Amino acid sequence: MILRQHTGWLTLWGAALAASFSPLPVQLLFAVVAIGIIGMAHGASDLEIVRREQQCAFLAGYGLVIVLCVFWWHWHPAIALPGFLLASAIHFALEDAPHGSLAERLARGISLIATPAALHLKEYRTILHKAGLASAMPNSVTAGLAIAGGLTAAALLLTGILRRDRRLLAGTLALLLLPPFVGFSVGFLILHALPQTRERRDLLGFRHYADYLRAVWPVLTAAILLAVLIMFMMHPTDTAGVRSLFAALAALAIPHLLITPWFEKLPRSK
């Protein structure tokens, strides 16, 4: 088991480093796999944590939000993108340090979104523009994000050193040092998706990840196919593929952020 975990981490870091020195399309592909497939596993069990009598209402709400997100991204990406980033930051702040101080929770939420801009401002700004902002966001805003990301990263690195928290250190360093797509993907996995997957596995009573994945694979497969469909639908107007990726991620993530908490029946682990 330990050897398998070490192999998995080496594979992740090796792929991340290779992608970091590759063109943007390769970095985009890395993000698709890391976020859209590996990271999506924790949300694939959303239906399992909803009471059976509420599942129809849950699925209806989930489906409605997905449709609204797709249309929102098609009609007003310059509004949809900031909304998605803000909702994600709030979600990370609430989920990644549920027992931490308010300052730590704010730092974690802001850092996951803003730290990739700290040392890679030009690339970060390019991604936001390709995602649909065009010239709608002033350079001063992205510069402000870079400053906020640098400050929160410094605070979290200090916290990680004082606590000897290797996960916090590794995730924050990935956000800070790697190119934005790659850095966010690795930071997202280390700080959010993988811990949340472990928590869901434990809440559902599975001892091994393989058992958890066997239980959720139909939903996970459907989510991946839906994401591919959304990206294909957006492709004619998005030759770079960046807006398509953000639209697909938002369509699957926003219901997870907004709908699931209203129906969640299982208590959080301590």
- pLDDT digit string (tens) for 100-155? 899 999 999 999 999 999 999 999 988 888 877 655 566 777 889 999 999 999 99
pLDDT digits (tens, 9 = 90+) for 234-259: 765 555 678 888 888 899 999 999 89
pTM over 0.95: no
pLDDT bin (cut points 50, 70, 90) of residue 269 is very low
pLDDT digits (tens, 9 = 90+) for 211-227: 999 999 999 999 889 88
pLDDT digits (tens, 9 = 90+) for 16-25: 999 999 998 8
Q: Provide the residue type at 11 as one letter.
A: T
pLDDT digits (tens, 9 = 90+) for 28-84: 899 989 998 898 999 899 988 888 888 899 999 999 999 999 888 888 888 888 889
Query: Which of the pair, 161 or 268, is modelled with greater confidence?
Result: 161
